[in-house]
Amino acid sequence: ENFLQKTCAPFSTNSYDAFISPNTLNLSSFTKLMKKLQEIHPEASRDKIVDALLEVRRNNKGILSGLSINSIAERTSVIL
């Protein structure tokens, strides 16, 4: 899953703030991951989940590529 790997624009928690090319963000994987994390952590806001995902990416040398959705969800859950 290559989502959040490299973005041309700064990643924003508000999708209206920045344009991110469909080629740089795998929206299908991102949507699946967000849905999964929202089910696991119903108390967490979308912004808090995205912040945790960005921290997981920072902790993984700036990329999420090569990690499974389950692995990313587990790492994000630890932060949340």
pTM for this prediction: 0.65
Cα(46)–Cα(35) distance, rounded to whole angstroms? 10
Cα(27)–Cα(79) distance, rounded to whole angstroms? 22
CA nearest to 77, candidates 57, 59, 58, 53: 53
| Higher-pLDDT residue of 17, 42 | 42
Give domain limits for the chain.
Answer: 27-79
The pLDDT tens digits of the residues spanning 53-76 come to 999 999 999 988 888 889 999 999
Q: Are 64 and 48 in contact (CB under 8 A)?
A: no
